[in-house]
């Protein structure tokens, strides 16, 4: 909905059947005349999200943004000080040379 898709609820038996036949969890492109529609079914709630090319582009951008945000969060969680157990390094004495580079052997 954030990308502008409209929620529609099928009213007839034929519309309900069409909704049930759409692949769940996927956006399906449907051409009707000269117009293109993108439909994301939600059969569990007996509804579908419908939009045009503009809404579909916005949907793709939101998914990309969300994926990047999720990856950033995963990276941040991975590099938390607690998980790196810095205390085991004992301050890095003898490990790091001048300016933070490796110590000569």
Give the pLDDT score at 50: 92
pLDDT tens track for 10-47: 999 998 888 888 888 888 898 989 999 999 899 889 99
User: Interior CA angle at 97 toward 93 and 103, to 5°?
Assistant: 90
For the chain, the structural domain boundaries read 6-82
pLDDT tens track for 44-82: 899 999 999 999 899 888 888 877 667 666 656 555 554
The pTM score is: 0.60
Phi-psi bin for 6: left (phi > 0), alpha (psi -120 to 50), beta? beta
């Amino acid at each position: 909905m954030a990308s502008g898709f409209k929620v529609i609820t099928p009213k007839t038996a034929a519309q309900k059947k069409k909704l049930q036949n759409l692949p769940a969890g996927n956006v399906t492109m449907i051409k009707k005349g000269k117009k293109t529609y993108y439909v994301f079914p939600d059969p569990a709630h007996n509804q579908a999200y419908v939009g045009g090319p503009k809404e579909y582009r916005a949907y793709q951008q939101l998914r990309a943004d969300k994926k990047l945000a999720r990856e950033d969060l995963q990276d941040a969680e991975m590099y938390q000080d607690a998980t790196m157990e810095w205390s085991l390094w004992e301050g890095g004495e003898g490990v790091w040379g001048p300016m933070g580079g490796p110590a000569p052997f």
